[in-house]
Amino acid sequence: MNIRGYVKTVFEQEKPLKFVVSRILIRSKLCKLFIIKQKNYNLRFDPVSSSGALWINPNYYRPANVFFSDYLKKGDKVIDIGANIGTVTIEASKKIGDSGKVYSIEPHPQIYKYFIGNIRLNRLKNVKTFNFALGNKDGTIFFSNKHSDDQNSIITNKNGIKVKLKKLDDLDIKIDFLKIDTQGYESEIIKYGNHKIKNSLVIQIETSPIPLYKNEKPFSYVAQQLEGLGFVLHMFNKINSRTFKPMTIENDIYTGLHHLLQLDCVFIKNFGEIEKMNIEKLKKLILILFYSFKSYDLVDFLICKLDKLTNKNFISDYRKLVTTQKMFKKY
């Protein structure tokens, strides 16, 4: 990037001065002298863009991670594919406690070292980490090694970093919740991990309506894969859009008009096939929809189904709760 382009980028930031300082700290490696304080844990300021973003704004990843604060509970099992420096893993670890387990996979060797550093800093005992990529076979692949860690992805030539490759279905783990953020490799993970994915209740996945990486499948393809495994799209946790160059809105490159760039999607088990669902899993799905998404109408529908399957009458107490607390205006 030339000087003119860099200056333009700086002034497009919400906090231009802090942005410049963060880049100086990262380039000089002086960032390692700092600790980034989060709500209930700490992170090292490692020389990568995700650490820099959090140093500038500690709540940078909060909208995407807040899902865990609502949904996860003691004893849950979570798999975090594409753990990066560990923000999602640490949030999950704190929430599920010693009786739960987080299985975290970060393929990039250097980012993995930073990730491990954050796990040790927070003294987490319920996290099992893996340094390999997930794909269609046991073997090796090559990753790019860009300075911006969130832009690293699988490449076809052998000039990148060599990384081990495994299939999700071959891992000896059981999961309730699956988070996938792998810069364009999501469809391969789903394709060769469908047995594990079928047993999950909730999948949070980052994808895009248009391919942003080489060989990436678009949102429509990924959604069709998950629908084939018995899931339905429930909500968009986060939507990112961009304007097409050279237009910007109020000098903000991250503000778009209408065209969608990235989607943070939440898929849940298909509630139209209740009869096939385990009673305990149905109860857990009801809790997720109630506490995480405030989907009170769908919860009502599912509790009625649960009552039929168990010969109980939970629905009376539920409707009384909802109307008393004024969660829903009218029944």
- The whole-number average pLDDT for the span 22-49 is 91
pLDDT at 330: 53
CB 241 within 8 A of CB 67: no
Q: What is the pLDDT of residue 286?
A: 86
Residue 21: pLDDT band (50, 70, 90) is very high
328 pLDDT more than 60: no
The answer as to CATH 2.60.40.10 being correct for domain 62-269 is no
Q: What is the pLDDT of residue 90?
A: 93
pLDDT of residue 46: 92
> Tens of pLDDT along 201-230?
889 899 998 888 878 899 999 999 999 999
Quick one: what percent of the chain has pLDDT higher than 90?
30
Q: What are the extents of the domains in the chain?
A: 62-269, 277-331
Beta bridge partners of 247: none
Measured CA to CA in angstroms, residue 235 lies from 29, 50, 67, 70 at distances of 40, 25, 12, 15
- Please, are residues 266 and 202 in contact by the beta-carbon 8 Å criterion? yes
pLDDT, mean over the chain: 84
Q: What was the pLDDT predicted at 150?
A: 56
Mean pLDDT of 3-24: 80
State the pLDDT at residue 229.
93
DSSP strand pairing (260-269 vs 202-207): antiparallel
Residue 114 to residues 53, 81, 122, Cα–Cα distance (Å): 15, 16, 13
Give residues with Cβ within 8 angstroms of 67, minimum separation 6.
Answer: 204, 237, 266, 292
Least confident of 26-35, 119-128, 246-255, 274-283: 246-255
User: Which residue did the predictor score with more confidence, 244 or 20?
Assistant: 20
Q: State the pLDDT at residue 93.
A: 93
Task: Quick: pLDDT tens for 70-119.
Answer: 667 788 888 898 899 999 899 999 989 999 999 999 988 989 999 999 99
Q: Can you tell me the distance from the alpha carbon of 234 to that of 213, in angstroms, rounded to the nearest whole number?
A: 25
How far is CA 302 from its chain centroid? 26
Q: How confident is the model at residue 69 (pLDDT cuts 50, 70, 90)?
A: low
Look at residue 5 and tell me whether its pLDDT is greater than 70: no
Give the number of other Cβ atoms within 10 Å of residue 292's Cβ: 21
Q: What is the pLDDT of residue 227?
A: 94
Q: Which residue has the tokens 């070292």?
A: 113
Confidence class for position 131, pLDDT limits 50, 70, 90: very high
Strands (E), the chain: 35-37, 42-44, 77-81, 101-105, 127-130, 133-134, 139-143, 154-155, 161-166, 177-180, 202-207, 231-241, 260-269
What confidence category does residue 155 fall into, taking pLDDT thresholds of 50, 70 and 90?
Answer: confident
Q: What is the pLDDT of residue 147?
A: 56
- CA quadruple 291, 85, 121, 55: dihedral sign: negative
